[in-house]
């Protein structure tokens, strides 16, 4: 069975999204960039299969003609991911912070065969998780938004009896310093319109 794709996103409300990025470019530009990233992923993902957009709160900011929309559950990130993944297995869950991730990387995650496959980012987190099985303790004691998030998740999954593998690595955009990297990538491979720059 082909995995369903779950895209996690927040409504693009200034001051509530991309707060680390907002420290460098301001809350409005950070929210605009978040909206751009989510819309980019919504345009890209349907070619890989069924897509569900999981929001923290309902919003009209994102087109939904090619996807279904659901609300995330209460709780921390682990709770919300577990509650989204479990009824939809097999599933691939992504955020919107890596909009330039190559198609072959996404395709590789769609084909992952371990119970849990984590796709690393350079900062110690992960840009996607593919799950064929879940366990209530698979995100226990994960230190979210730290350099230990991926290692903690892998350890918790193994402790819960799940097999774990690593998928292809890519970078995400969380802080102002990351904008230079994404701008360089887009110069070589295509452009987002109105990309905010650090200090503007």
In the sheet that 51-55 helps form, which strands lie side by side, from edge to edge? 68-71, 51-55, 4-9, 91-94, 126-131, 116-120, 164-166
Confidence class of residue 190 from pLDDT cuts 50, 70 and 90?
low
* pLDDT above 60: residue 195: no
Residue 82, C-beta contacts closer than 8 angstroms, at least 6 positions apart = 134, 136, 138, 139
Contact 129, 117 (CB under 8 A): yes
For 120-130, how does the pLDDT look when each residue is reduced to its tens digit (9 = 90+)? 999 899 999 99
Q: Looking at the chain, how many residues does it have?
A: 200
For 71-83, how does the pLDDT look when each residue is reduced to its tens digit (9 = 90+)? 999 999 999 999 9
Element (H, E) at 189: helix 177-189
Contact 165, 114 (CB under 8 A): yes
The CATH classification of domain 4-189, taken from the options 3.90.550.10, 2.40.30.10, 3.40.720.10, 3.90.1170.40 = 3.90.550.10
Contact 10, 16 (CB under 8 A): yes
Cα-Cα-Cα-Cα dihedral sign, residues 60, 61, 64, 68: negative
CA distance linking residue 145 with residue 124, whole number of Å: 9
69: left (phi over 0), alpha (psi -120 to 50) or beta: beta
Is the whole model's pTM more than 0.75, yes or no? yes
199 or 59, higher pLDDT: 59
Confidence class of residue 196 from pLDDT cuts 50, 70 and 90?
very low
CA distance linking residue 127 with residue 108, whole number of Å: 13
């Amino acid at each position: 069975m082909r995995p369903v794709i779950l895209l996690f996103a927040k409504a693009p409300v200034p001051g509530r999204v991309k707060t680390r990025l907002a420290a460098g470019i301001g809350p409005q530009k950070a929210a605009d960039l978040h909206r751009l990233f989510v819309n980019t992923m919504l345009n890209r993902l349907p070619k890989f299969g069924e897509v569900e957009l999981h929001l923290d709160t309902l919003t009209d900011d994102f087109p939904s003609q090619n996807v279904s929309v659901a609300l995330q559950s209460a709780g921390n990130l682990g709770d919300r991911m577990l509650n989204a993944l479990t009824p939809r297995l097999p599933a691939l869950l992504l955020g919107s912070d890596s909009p330039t991730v190559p198609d072959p990387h996404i395709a590789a995650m769609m084909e992952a065969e371990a119970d849990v496959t984590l796709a690393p980012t350079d900062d110690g987190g992960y840009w996607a998780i593919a799950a064929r099985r879940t366990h209530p303790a698979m995100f226990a004691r994960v230190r979210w938004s730290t350099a230990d998030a991926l290692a903690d998740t892998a350890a918790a999954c193994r402790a819960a009896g799940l097999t774990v593998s690593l998928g292809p690595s890519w970078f995400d955009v969380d802080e102002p310093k990351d904008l230079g990297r994404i701008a360089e990538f887009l110069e070589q491979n295509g452009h987002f319109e109105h990309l905010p720059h650090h200090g503007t």
